[in-house]
Amino acid sequence: MEKKTGLKMTPQRAAILEYLEGNTKHPSADDIYRAIKEKYPMVSFATVYNTLETLRNMGMVWELNIDDERKRYDPNTRPHHHLICLRCRRVVDVRVDFEIEYTDKMAEGFMVTGHHVEFYGVCSECQKLGPQN
């Protein structure tokens, strides 16, 4: 991994990468910090956050701004979309592509390089809880 990323591989960074590998829960930096702190009690939140920022800058994780309270991270950087529960904030990958045509008029001078669709609703677990007050 060091050769591929240029990152010095510390046990803490390895734990962060291991936690992210195949993770589909779209964790926050705090989620990752709490998960790896059990095994590495000396890890700091700053180490987790800075590692995530480095991975984001390298294109190895996506930073998702779909939660008003915290940034979430997605190690799946292949094009896909998300479904977000408005109650529990659970995020699910949507692996269906949507044909969206951009016209010059719609793009307002932007050179469009990609798109991301977000769907909002209430997940099946939250639906079981009944209507929200």
Q: Which domains can be identified in the chain, with CATH numbers? A: 2-74 (1.10.10.10), 81-128 (3.30.1490)
What average pLDDT does this structure show over 27-31? 96
What average pLDDT does this structure show over 99-107? 71
Token look-up 């896909």 returns 80
HSE-CB at 131 with a 13 A cutoff on CA atoms is: 1
pLDDT at 111: 75
Residue 1 has pLDDT above 60, yes or no: no
Residue 17 has pLDDT above 90, yes or no: yes
What average pLDDT does this structure show over 4-20? 84
Amino acid 38 reads: E
pLDDT at 55: 93
pLDDT at 116: 83
Q: State the CB neighbour count (10 A cutoff) for residue 119.
A: 10
What average pLDDT does this structure show over 39-44? 92
3-state secondary structure 22-40: CCCCCCEHHHHHHHHHCCC
What average pLDDT does this structure show over 18-42? 94
- What pTM did the predictor assign? 0.81
* Residue 117, strand partner residues: none
Residue 107 has pLDDT above 90, yes or no: no
Gap between the Cα atoms of 65 and 53, Å rounded = 14
Coil, helix or strand for 120?
Answer: strand
